[in-house]
Structures are given as C-alpha cells and as structure tokens.
Structure 1
Amino acid sequence: MRRRRTTPAFWAAAAVVRPAMNALIGKDWRGLEKLPDTGYIAVSNHISEVDPVAVAHAIYAAGNTPHMMAKDSLFRVPVLGAALRRLQQIPVARADRGEARRSLETAQQVLSEGGAIVIYPEGTLTRDPELWPMRSKTGAARLALNTGAPLIPITHWGVQDFFPQYANAPKIFPRTRYVLQVGDPIDLEDLREKPLTRTILATATERIEEALTAGVAQLRGEPAPELIWDRALNQRVPRGQLRAREAQREARDTGDAAQQESQG
C-alpha cells in the first residue's frame, strides 16, 4: 500500500487545487496502477506552464506525495518561494556544489519516505515547433542512477489546449480535456553498477528521451519525428547524437589525462 506523508500546507493546497482542476479541465488518466508503492522518480514531457499541476494531481490521487525539482531561482521569488518550501518542493542549484549536494540529500529523503520526485528532463518547456519532447539534460538520469530509485515515464497531451505556452490565462471555454499515461519503468539495471561516466549518463538520458517520445506518440496517435529537437542548436538532430558526443569527450579527457601523466 502506498505511504503518503505530507504536510498540512500540502494537504490544504490539494484541497483547493484538486476541485479547481476537476472543474476546469477534463482528464483521462491511464496506467496509474503502474506507479510503485514506494518512492520513485517520475519524468514527464513539458508542453505547458500548468503541466506540474496536471501531473501532480494524478500522482497525488494515486497515493503518493509529488515533489517537483525546480530551479533554485524560483525559491527566491517573494511569496512563491515560501509556498514552494512549505509544499516541500526541491530546489535545484546548477552552480553551487554544496547546494546541489543538499538537493540530492533532500531527494533521497523524499524517496525513502515513499514520495514521488517529478522531473522535467528537458529543463524547460519544449521548443520543438510541434511540441514533441526535445533533447533532455542528464539530471534525471544522474539522480536515478545515484539513488537506485525506479524511473517512471509519465506523458500527457491536451494540457496545452487549456493553457497554451506563454499564455496569460487559461482557455476555460469550451472545456478541454487532457490524457495522461503512466508508462513502464525505464530499464537502467545494466547501467547501475557501472561508473557514472559521461557515456553512461548519456545512454540513460537517451532512454528517457525515447520513453517520453514513445508515450507522446501513442497519445497523439501519430509517429514521432526521426530527429529530436536540440535547444542549443535550435533544430532537430539525430537521436543518438548525445551519446556519441559524450563518448568523444570522454575519450578526449582520458587521452589528455594520460598525456599529462606521461609528461609528469
């Protein structure tokens, strides 16, 4: 049986948000029974600013308390930052190693208590012109490999009709509907006992990209593009490019280290 441990602040927020979501947008949740009974990491596609609420709603209804990993800058915003802390969300510091370590410790505590950590591996709203999942960052893969927690893909489609990207307000009429689907756990077992190298992280990250893309394709009822959007290049690129690039960097770093050792 799932263990839900939450704060009064989270319970109060859920008591307000859940009825509001039920009134404003229709939902079709599929596969919630696939969510683990203990702590897990959920990765999801990102197509609208209200995605976190839509995903958290399903996770909470299934019996887990959702904890979003969000940019630490959001925690410095007046009112919002205080609310995020009271709701036990997790700040992600990208430059401060000490803060990053504390974020990992907080994440491990959440998982040990049976909570669900939600990560948007793309790092921001997708920039793909057709809203397909774009190239992911390695943070979700790193957390999954460091903690050993199950990695669950949750994909959804239709939230963007209720609240389009960068809109100022939701579209309440006509009432829209979204579909959310929980996929099978992403298999990382062959990677967990290996050193956490660039190539291993890239391999795990590409598996996340594949799972999210496949889930969205199923919900949309159409095949995904052969290429994947790379935000840095502002274009679609081959899907295996990340692993190939990291393998080259790894080989270069190994060669440089060997050269320095021989010269020393």
Structure 2
Amino acid sequence: MRWEIKGELPVDGAFIVAPNHTSEIDPLIMGMAVWKLGRAPRFMAADRLFRVKGLGWILRKSGQIPVSRDVRGANQAAIASAQQLARLGQGVIIYPEGTLTREPELWPMRGKNGAARVALSADIPVYPTAIWGAQHILPRYSKKLTIGWRKTITVHVGEPVSLAEFNGRMHSASAMKAATELIMHDITGLLEGIRGEKAPAELYDPAKHGQTEHGRFPQDRGTTSRDSGSGA
C-alpha cells in the first residue's frame, strides 16, 4: 500500500482514535496507521470474546479492552475502559458508527455514543479520523480482496474534539447524542477534505431507510467490487 497519513497523535498518555468505517479491513489498516504514528493500537472487543479459551488470553495480553454489549452495562463498561486507558496511558481505536456505514456513497452515518462515553469517563481526548482507500482493497460487504499494486490509503487524524461542555453529563442521553454528533461532524469534515466532495447535509440514519443496524443495501448483495466513491 502507498500511505498518505496526516495529523498527529499524542506521544504519551491516553487517547481515543475515532475513524469512519467503510471496509471490513479497516481495523487492520487503522492499526497500522496508528503504529506508523508512533503509538500501539488497541481495540474494544465484545466481552464474550474474552471468555473464549485461548482467544481471551491473547486479547488480554495484547491490551485489548472488553466492552459489554448489554445496554444496562454500557456505562459501567465505559467507565472501566476509560480507567484502564487513563491508568496505563494507552490509546484505543473506537468506531463510532459501530459497524460498516450503510450510506450509499460511503459517507459516515449516525454514530453510537461509546466513544463519547469512554472519553468523558476519564477526560480522554478523542481524535476524529478519516480513512479512505480501504474499500479499494476489500469493498464493503465483500469477502474477496481486490489485488493490485500500491493501493493508496489516506488517513487524516484531526485535532481533538472539544467535549468540555458535556463534562459531568455522561448519564444524559441528549448530551451523549450531541457529543457523538460533534465527533461524527469532525470525521465527516476530514473525509470531505480527502475526497474533495461535500457530504450529505445530514448523517445517514439506517432506521429512516427501513434498515436494521446490520442490514445491507439490495445492490450490495452478491457484489465483490462495488465502490461508490471517488478514489484517493
């Protein structure tokens, strides 16, 4: 791959990288990008994976962070994760969308509040990040890699999102929604700069388009190389 990386991460201390999500290969590429920026990449993984014999040991030893999928335990999981990050001075990659974007042109869609909750639990900075080009290697929903020489991967890390106005309001649903929207707004702005295009005025909401969180577009079923956006 040919890398184009802009922006910086802190040289020490805890941080959160919040990228957009267009391809299932994104985590590998974002992990490499964070490493190239001088920090060790870590991810939040479902707590049930930590109970799998062997896999759980690997996840714990590599510093991955368990997170509860149970809504009732979300706050506690966010607090525990934030405390671990702050105590050890680690960084973590959290995808605010929670899954591959459903937006037809691969723009970011509405986010979930996990990144905001973790950040506000221990005053950890959130670095909005845009990635573009992974979809040329593994298109959305595809299981077949597109082989080619020197595919360009563009990663732009922005300035930390200012969430100060939400301090002490982690248990407020409206505050978490607003904080998440700020994060998604900054991610979208960075991606506009990479693509040289304007994103839709409103973040895509799968529910408003008759989709579940894990639904697919009819035109994506059975395809392996669809790429609806411009290249980097």
For Structure 1 versus Structure 2, the TM-score category normalised by the shorter chain is 0.7 to 0.9
Once the two structures are superposed, what CA deviation does each residue of 1:95-127 show, in whole Å capped at 9, x if it has no partner? 175686356324422232221111001110111
Identity percentage of aligned residues? 39
Query: Unaligned 5+ residue runs, structure 1?
Result: 1-24, 237-264
Aligned ranges for residues 100-249 of structure 1 at < 5 Å?
101=76, 104-194=79-169, 196-234=171-209
Q: Which residue of 2 aligns with 1:254?
A: none
Answer yes or no: is 1:45 the counterpart of 2:1. no
Call closer, same or farther: CA 1:193–1:110 in 2, change over 3 Å.
closer
Deviation at 1:174, TM superposition (A): 3.8
Counterpart residue type for residue 137 of structure 1: K
Hey, what's the Cα distance between the residues in 1 that align with 2:181 and 2:77? Answer: 26
Query: Unaligned 5+ residue runs, structure 2?
Result: 212-232
CA contact (8 A) 1:44 1:120 kept: yes
CA contact (8 A) 1:44 1:119 kept: yes
TM-score normalised by L of structure 2: 0.81
Counterpart residue type for residue 159 of structure 1: A
Deviation at 1:35, TM superposition (A): 3.5
> SS state of the match for residue 156, structure 1?
strand
Counterpart residue type for residue 109 of structure 1: Q
Call closer, same or farther: CA 1:144–1:106 in 2, change over 3 Å.
closer
Greater Cα offset, 136-145 or 65-74: 65-74
The alignment yields a C-alpha RMSD, in angstroms, of 2.5
> SS state of the match for residue 46, structure 1?
coil
> SS state of the match for residue 21, structure 2?
coil
- Size of the alignment, in residue pairs? 211
Task: Report which of the two structures shows the higher radius of gyration computed on alpha carbons.
Answer: 1
Aligned ranges for residues 34-73 of structure 1 at < 5 Å?
34-35=9-10, 37-73=12-48
* Structure with larger RCO (C-alpha < 8 A, sep 6+): 2
Q: Which residue of 2 aligns with 1:240?
A: none
Hey, what's the Cα distance between the residues in 2 that align with 1:217 and 1:104? Answer: 32
Hey, what's the Cα distance between the residues in 2 that align with 1:122 and 1:186? Answer: 16
Hey, what's the Cα distance between the residues in 1 that align with 2:75 and 2:169? Answer: 22
Q: Which residue of 2 aligns with 1:26?
A: 2
